[in-house]
Amino acid sequence: MNCSLDALLGGRLTSLPMSRWLSLIALVAVTGAHAGPPVSAEEDAGRYMAEKRLVDRIEQVRVQMGVGATRVANKASELVMTAMGSLGVPYRRGGSSADTGFDCSGFVKAMYEQTVGFILPRRANEQAAATQKIDKQDLQPGDLVFFNTLRRTFSHVGIYVGDNKFIHSPKPGAQVRVEDMAVPYWAARFDGARRVPMPAAQATAAAD
């Protein structure tokens, strides 16, 4: 299977109005983590202002892409933007919808079903087993990143959005937010990266 959500981001990402982008950032909670270290309000604000600049960097990647990858790129863009649109949705154990809240694996499963049409298993460790292992240096937006946050492998999962950042639903009392994988808490708990294969019908269309 050669087609996947590689480092491909389409133009849809940059079509999001800046006012909406800023409003999404404003929804992010300033909380500690179960999946995540505590941060100050000042640190949190600086982190999310940096996230705003991801738009420009992602657009640079898109411009460098070949024409043949456009359809796959648009799907990757849609996935990332749909995930970003869930910033601020509260954590709920066993949750899998924006209306009621997400847990980490429910968030990932919902994003892929809504935008890619790929049905992932429900639990984080099952999602790791059902997807393609990749090296950390090969991570591209739309890939999955896994962490050991409960003293067991693949106990937490998020979606990589680029620039060493990922989006996830962290813990009870917290909300969907973006994190930096370089933060010591996450770096020490990183468990591996996975790539979700694109459904066959979309792979065929992308190759046309």
62-115 tens-digit pLDDT: 444 444 445 556 777 889 999 999 999 999 999 999 999 999 999 999 999 999
> Looking at the domain assignment, is residue 199 inside a domain?
yes
Cα–Cα distance measured from residue 62 to residue 59, given in angstroms and rounded to the nearest whole number: 5
Name the pLDDT band for 36 (thresholds 50, 70, 90). low
In a domain, 1, yes or no: no
CA angle 169, 143, 113 (to 5 degrees): 65
Contact 3, 75 (CB under 8 A): no
Number of independent structural domains in the chain: 1
DSSP string, 103-134: -HHHHHHHHHHHHT-----SSHHHHHHTSEEE
Instruction: Report yes or no on 149 lying in a domain.
Output: yes
CATH number for the domain harbouring residue 167: 3.90.1720.10
pLDDT band at residue 203 under the 50/70/90 scheme:
very low
Q: Say if 4 falls within a structural domain.
A: no
99 touches 119 (CB < 8 A): no
Residue 10: the pLDDT is: 39
Residue 2 resides in a domain: no
Q: Does residue 191 fall inside a structural domain?
A: yes
Give the pLDDT score at 75: 77
DSSP 44: H
Q: Which residue has the higher pLDDT, 32 or 148?
A: 148
- Residue 95 inside a domain? The answer is yes
Rounded average pLDDT over 32-56: 50
Mind listing the pLDDT tens digit for each residue in 140-195? 999 999 999 999 999 999 999 999 999 999 999 999 999 999 999 999 999 999 99
Residue 34 annotated in active site: no
Q: Which of 35, 89, 104, 176 is catalytic?
A: 104
Give residue 17's pLDDT: 43
Q: Is 104 known to be catalytic?
A: yes
From 75, 156, 171, 189, the catalytic residue: 156
Within a domain: 3: no
* Owning domain of residue 25: 11-207
